[in-house]
Amino acid sequence: MGSHRPPPFSLRLTFEERAKIEADAAGMSLGGYIRSRLLDPDWIAPRRRGKFPVKDHRALAQLLAMLGQSRLANNVNQLAKAANTGSLPVTPETEEALLTAVHEVTRMRQLLIEALDLDARL
């Protein structure tokens, strides 16, 4: 019989943990980076510049955390379905929810622009 490969190992990370590992990996595959860190803790990842190097890792981690904690996509989807079926009551609460969603998306966009240093490219 042929050799059997061991089953893959899965690891759940928070958005912040994953953002940090991706930043530390500097363009390497996450699996390769994690494997090298576990098996050779003194190894230092080579620094490579990607197409869009991250200027501010803290801002990017903050954005990813906001997205992880936010039910924004689900809430906007529910609002769109209600609007399409004609069952969306236009109340002060609905208006406030929509304005809050717009504000959150705008803030996330600004954080992403800052983290990726896109101001310099726009």
Rounded Cα distance between 118 and 122, Å, is 6
| pLDDT one-digit tens code per residue, 66-112 | 777 777 777 777 877 887 788 888 788 878 888 888 888 888 777 77
Residues 114 and 56: beta-carbon distance below 8 Å: yes
- At 7, the pLDDT band (50, 70, 90 cuts) reads confident
Please tell me whether residues 68 and 116 are part of one structural domain. Answer: yes
| pLDDT one-digit tens code per residue, 12-51 | 888 888 888 887 777 778 888 888 888 886 766 555 555 5
Please tell me whether residues 59 and 100 are part of one structural domain. Answer: yes
Please tell me whether residues 28 and 86 are part of one structural domain. Answer: no
Please tell me whether residues 98 and 45 are part of one structural domain. Answer: no
Q: Is 2 inside a domain boundary?
A: no
Per-residue model confidence (pLDDT) at position 3: 67
Please tell me whether residues 57 and 44 are part of one structural domain. Answer: no
List % helix, strand, coil for the chain (3-state, nearest 5): 60, 0, 40
Rounded Cα distance between 42 and 90, Å, is 59
Q: Is 61 inside a domain boundary?
A: yes
- At 122, the pLDDT band (50, 70, 90 cuts) reads very low
Please tell me whether residues 59 and 116 are part of one structural domain. Answer: yes
Domain of 26 in residue numbering reads as 11-50
Q: How many residues does the chain have?
A: 122
Please tell me whether residues 93 and 107 are part of one structural domain. Answer: yes
Please tell me whether residues 69 and 102 are part of one structural domain. Answer: yes
